[in-house]
Amino acid sequence: MSSAFHITLGKPPAAQEIQDVAAAAEWLSDRWPEAHRGTLKHLAAQVACADLIESGGDAAIAQDAFMAAAEEAGLLSSQ
């Protein structure tokens, strides 16, 4: 499992740091906004993170997929 993730969700003072694929997967499954669950980007991020956890997939692909889903959901700190 890679620790290559570093994504900031939200804005200070409530910003949350995602620093590994396990945290990203937890966000996708348990904390994702209802209105954005099940979108193609959300599902692609879940698959990419699961692949990284289960079989050592590509961390860059998982991070990119997570970022795309987070952007779609309006969760990135830059939004």
Please, is 78 exposed, middle or buried when counting C-beta atoms within 10 Å of its C-beta (0-12, 13-18, 19+)? Answer: exposed
In tens digits, what is the pLDDT along the chain, a chain of 79 residues? 444 677 888 877 778 889 899 999 999 999 999 999 999 999 999 999 999 999 988 899 999 999 999 999 999 876 5
Return the pLDDT at 4.
Answer: 66
Return the pLDDT at 66.
Answer: 96
Q: Are 69 and 45 in contact (CB under 8 A)?
A: yes
Q: For tokens 């956890």, name the residue.
A: 53
Return the pLDDT at 3.
Answer: 45
Domain boundaries, the chain: 7-72
Listed in order, strand segments (DSSP E) in 1-79 are: 7-9, 16-18
